[in-house]
Amino acid sequence: MGADELHPAVILRTRPLGESDRVIVLLTPTLGKVDAAARNARASKRRFAGGLAPGMRGRAALARPRRAQSDLLRLHGFEPTAPFDEVGRDLTRFAYVAYVCELTDQLVTGQDPEPALFAELCATLEILVERPNPPRPVDLRAFELALLRELGIVPALDRCGVCGEPVEEARLEEPPPSARVPFSAARGGVLCDRHGVAPIGEVITRIPVPVVQAAARLLARPEPAGLRDAVEAGAPELRRALRDLSLGAIRVHLRRPLRSLALFGQLPLSAE
């Protein structure tokens, strides 16, 4: 990388570095996740005129440090390329953006190129920040599942997560409302009858089949038209079950609790 190479980037997190500098954690399509030092970040009105807040999309001017042994890049400038003002005026948007950035920061650990994941994050931020209508919980569910898919850790949704055998109930075209399948994120997803019996000390939940199928459809590319509206219009208990499935699949991969979840306690229940 030469001096001041421009890279599309999303800011995931910032932390202090001395009195006036900051470390900016960025996700880029070609470099993956990188840490970069922004010198005089708090004082520079020219290089960082738009701010350096998590969730901002823009072009990052990055350069390698002079000391080869340092992994910390230099951030010489950041030019926002998308609106961001609404995030500071809307608690729901702020909470959603903080959550998707923290989740991405935790689950993405390497510096491998992540073009598809980067595109998913940018598309989600566009929905959360720029759409005139308030963001919805289904937008978070879609991103959570897409993130798991792009990282290769999505749970099995129609085959047993242990043995790989088809779980026929999960494949029913018109499942009855009472149809349920055993699910364990720790065991890899939905489970067949043989592996769906919980050992002593382990909890296996039974998830409604329509919820498992909704999760599978949210993973499809292209996403079926009108799917998110249909999910939001569904019964509250099914939306909660979809949330529990998705968060359960995420929780087994987290290194520490997500602090941004505390923000959801300040939102209406319908926004969770």
Query: Do 57 and 173 fall into the same domain?
Result: no
Q: What percent of the chain is modeled with pLDDT above 90? A: 79
Give the pLDDT of residue 268: 85
Query: Do 10 and 38 fall into the same domain?
Result: yes
pTM (two decimals): 0.93
pLDDT digits (tens, 9 = 90+) for 143-188: 999 999 999 999 999 999 999 999 998 988 888 878 999 999 999 9
Q: 47: which residues sit within 8 A by CB, 6+ positions away?
A: 38, 76, 77, 78
* pLDDT at residue 13 is higher than 90: yes
Give the structural domain span for 242. Answer: 168-252
Give the pLDDT of residue 43: 65
Query: Do 188 and 223 fall into the same domain?
Result: yes
Confidence of residue 1 (pLDDT cuts 50, 70, 90): low
Query: Do 47 and 121 fall into the same domain?
Result: yes
What CATH number does residue 26 fall under? 2.40.50.140
Q: In the listed set 150, 177, 197, which residue is the last one of a domain according to the structure?
A: 150
Q: 210: which residues sit within 8 A by CB, 6+ positions away?
A: 175, 177, 179, 234, 238
Query: Do 106 and 204 fall into the same domain?
Result: no
Pairing of strands 32-38, 73-80: parallel
Number of structural domains (the chain) is 2
CA 40 – CA 20 distance, rounded (Å): 5
Query: Is the residue at 111 inside a domain?
Result: yes
Query: Do 195 and 111 fall into the same domain?
Result: no
Query: What does the pLDDT average to over 72-78?
Result: 93
Query: Do 179 and 242 fall into the same domain?
Result: yes
Query: Is the residue at 159 inside a domain?
Result: no
